[in-house]
């Protein structure tokens, strides 16, 4: 008899526990303003692409006219793809999330090894929070996503290998996608030199949305950036790539409608950085080589200090972080340059690097003026001609800003955000999906999220602030 009573007590306890978990999940679901969020990044997206009606972006224009958009989004430093996308997915600046550049700086100096694995990120991601909440996610070529806690993961890790052009895809998923969405894919189909990559990524996203309806989908559209690098800000190639990117957005929007989830889906389109035309390349490591600070680049012992270039910026790494003598020597070298060279850049000191949330390991950085790129070379001329476009600049001028558009479930209408930061995007997604997630540096800007208390109220344009601890925050 006692054993029977004990059994029923255990059974009752399990039943009550199950009911409690179900109630908690239902409560979380009830708080969601959107059942699904699709986050699309167009690499190299500039605000003028949707603010200027002459650009061929009917789908972006439709989203803009039926939602919220920003006049500009301030990026991270450096304004390059991998740290920027990690800030979008974490709400943290590089100093906290740990992805400081596109490529890793090692004890042998600069490398061509890219940050690929999600485990390199040192703060919580939205993917982590979505999985923790019991919801599902999909990822299409998002940077630093290899091994991410994503249900349907096609990470940005394409290789020219006949056996597999992306060995890190969720097992079985790539074959399924090729069979049902894209057809057989080769490396050439997923290469930046081919606009087909954007079409293929959008078809992958469209298939996953229609087949599995993931609660959170991240998509990285890439060819606009490539065109701007090759030809600068304004060219026929940029217009073609932009039209292709907009068509990719259209494929995803059609899939959302076909899946029957349009009314419960929020769509966010953003980017990682803007672009500036360039005419000159500056190589600060040439100076370090001339003064014997770099003797054998690419070796562990052949340098005392080295600039790690990142597009249009350079970050000074000391071999010995306490080597004040070498640091002072480099400061003196930079200060002794002729005025016609000194006017091409400014030195960003540690205090300012801390404020912008840049790599905490570096002693200083070089931020060139618009039009000047940075080379990591330690030989050749100090100044060389350059052409095309680049990014990586310190995020303090308009051309390097990216954009933001949000539309759909839970999103306000006819609201303009004057300025915001990349780190302010994650709080929007967290709010929409009712996630248990705190962005270390981002703030939820008033007016983006639809609120019953705001009906009939037209707030003024609002601004994001990197030091947003005292900024108004929607609860």
Find the range with the poorest average confidence among 8-12, 83-87, 280-284, 307-311.
8-12
Mean pLDDT calculated for residue range 126-133:
98
Bridge partners, 420 (sequence order):
73
Average pLDDT, the chain: 91
Instruction: Say if residue 302 is exposed, middle or buried (CB neighbours under 10 Å; 0-12, 13-18, 19+).
Output: middle
Q: What φ, ψ does residue 277 adopt, rounded to 5°?
A: -70, 145
Please give the share of the chain, as a percent, with pLDDT higher than 70: 89
Side-by-side strand order, sheet with 314-318: 305-309, 314-318, 364-368, 345-349
Tokens 């190639």 sit on residue: 237
| Reported confidence tier of residue 192, pLDDT bands at 50, 70, 90 | confident
Q: Which of 136-150, 184-198, 199-213, 232-246 has the lowest mean pLDDT?
A: 184-198
pLDDT confidence of residue 15: 47
Please answer whether residues 42 and 224 qualify as being in contact, where contact means their C-beta atoms are separated by less than 8 angstroms: yes
Residue 310 half-sphere exposure toward CB, CA atoms < 13 A: 30
User: Between β-strands 36-42 and 216-221, what pairing exists: parallel, antiparallel or unpaired?
Assistant: parallel
The pLDDT value recorded for residue 475 is 31
- Write out pLDDT tens, residues 40-65: 999 999 999 999 999 999 999 999 99
Q: What is the DSSP letter of 460?
A: P
Structure tokens at 24: 């908690």
Place of tokens 């906290």: 96
Neighbours of 334 (CB within 10 A): 18
Q: How confident is the model at residue 39 (pLDDT cuts 50, 70, 90)?
A: very high
pLDDT value, residue 52: 98
Say if residue 11's pLDDT is above 90. Answer: no
Integer Rg of the chain from CA: 24
Query: Encoding tokens for residue 299?
Result: 């070796």
More confident residue, 461 or 359: 359
Q: Label each residue of 370-386 as H, E or C.
A: CCEEECCCCCCCCEEEC
As a three-state string, the secondary structure of 201-221 is HHHHHHHHHHHHCCCEEEEEE
Q: Summarize pLDDT for 247-258 with one digit per residue, the tens.
A: 999 999 999 999
- 74-88 pLDDT, tens digit per residue, is 999 999 999 999 999
User: How sure is the predictor about 8, in pLDDT bands with cuts at 50, 70 and 90?
Assistant: very low
Q: What pLDDT was estimated at residue 9?
A: 54
DSSP E strands in 33-184: the ranges are 36-42, 67-70, 73-74, 103-106, 109-114, 137-140, 152-154
Distance between CA atoms of residues 392 and 282, nearest Å: 14
Nearest Cα residue to 386 out of 309, 271, 470 = 309
Segment 79-127, tens digit of pLDDT: 999 999 999 999 999 999 999 999 999 887 778 899 999 999 999 999 9
Could you identify the residue written with the tokens 């100044």?
383
What's the pLDDT at 291?
Answer: 97
**Residues 426, 437 contacting (CB under 8 angstroms):** yes
pTM attached to this predicted model? 0.90
pLDDT tens-place string over residues 376-421: 999 999 999 999 999 999 999 999 999 999 999 999 999 999 999 9
pLDDT band for 189, please (50, 70, 90 cuts): very high
pLDDT digits (tens, 9 = 90+) for 277-303: 999 999 999 999 999 999 988 778 899
CA distance 83 to 77: 8
Whether residue 457 is predicted with pLDDT greater than 70 in this model: the reply is no
Q: Rounded to whole angstroms, how far apart are CA atoms 200 and 181? A: 8
pLDDT value at residue 299: 79
Q: How far apart are CA 43 and CA 219, in angstroms?
A: 10
Q: What is the pLDDT of residue 110?
A: 77
């Amino acid at each position: 008899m006692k054993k029977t009573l004990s059994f029923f007590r255990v059974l009752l306890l399990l039943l009550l526990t199950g009911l409690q978990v179900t109630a908690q999940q239902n409560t979380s679901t009830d708080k969601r303003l959107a059942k699904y969020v699709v986050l699309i990044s167009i690499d190299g997206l500039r605000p003028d692409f949707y603010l200027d009606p002459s650009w061929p972006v009917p789908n972006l224009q439709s989203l803009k006219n039926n939602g919220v958009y920003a006049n500009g989004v301030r990026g991270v430093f450096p304004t390059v793809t991998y740290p920027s996308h990690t800030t979008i997915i974490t709400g943290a600046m590089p100093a906290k999330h740990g992805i400081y550049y596109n490529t890793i700086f090692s004890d042998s100096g600069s490398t061509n090894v890219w940050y690929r694995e999600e485990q390199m990120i040192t703060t919580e991601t939205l993917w982590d929070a979505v999985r923790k909440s019991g919801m599902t996610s999909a990822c299409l070529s998002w940077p630093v996503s290899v091994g991410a806690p994503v249900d349907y993961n096609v990470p940005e890790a394409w290789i020219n290998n006949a056996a597999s052009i992306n060995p890190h895809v969720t097992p079985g998923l790539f074959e399924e996608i090729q069979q049902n969405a894209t057809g057989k894919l080769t490396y050439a189909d997923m290469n930046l030199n081919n606009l087909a990559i954007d079409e293929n990524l959008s078809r992958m996203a469209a298939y996953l949305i229609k087949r599995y309806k993931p609660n959170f989908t991240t998509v990285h559209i890439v060819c606009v950036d490539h065109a701007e690098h090759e030809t600068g800000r304004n060219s026929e190639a940029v217009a073609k790539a932009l039209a292709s990117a907009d068509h990719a957005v259209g494929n995803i929007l059609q899939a959302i409608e076909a899946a029957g989830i349009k009314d419960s889906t929020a769509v966010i389109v953003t980017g990682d950085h803007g672009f500036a035309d360039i005419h000159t390349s500056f190589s600060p490591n040439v100076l370090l080589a001339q003064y014997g600070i770099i003797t054998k680049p690419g070796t562990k012992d052949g340098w005392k200090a080295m600039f790690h270039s990142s597009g249009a910026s350079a970050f000074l790494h000391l071999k010995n972080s306490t080597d004040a003598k070498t640091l002072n020597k480099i400061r003196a070298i930079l200060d002794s340059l002729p005025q016609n060279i000194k006017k091409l850049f400014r030195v960003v000191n540690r205090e300012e690097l801390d404020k912008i949330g840049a790599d905490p390991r570096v002693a200083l950085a070089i931020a060139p003026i618009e039009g000047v790129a940075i080379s990591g070379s330690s030989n050749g001329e100090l100044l060389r001609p350059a052409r095309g476009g680049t990014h990586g600049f310190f995020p303090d001028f308009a051309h390097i800003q990216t954009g933001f558009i949000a539309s759909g479930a839970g999103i306000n209408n006819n609201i303009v955000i004057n300025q915001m930061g990349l780190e302010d995007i994650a709080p929007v997604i967290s709010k929409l999906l009712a996630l248990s997630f705190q962005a270390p540096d981002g703030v939820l800007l008033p007016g983006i999220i639809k609120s019953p208390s705001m009906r009939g109220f037209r707030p003024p344009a609002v601004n994001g602030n990197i030091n947003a601890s005292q900024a108004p925050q929607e609860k």
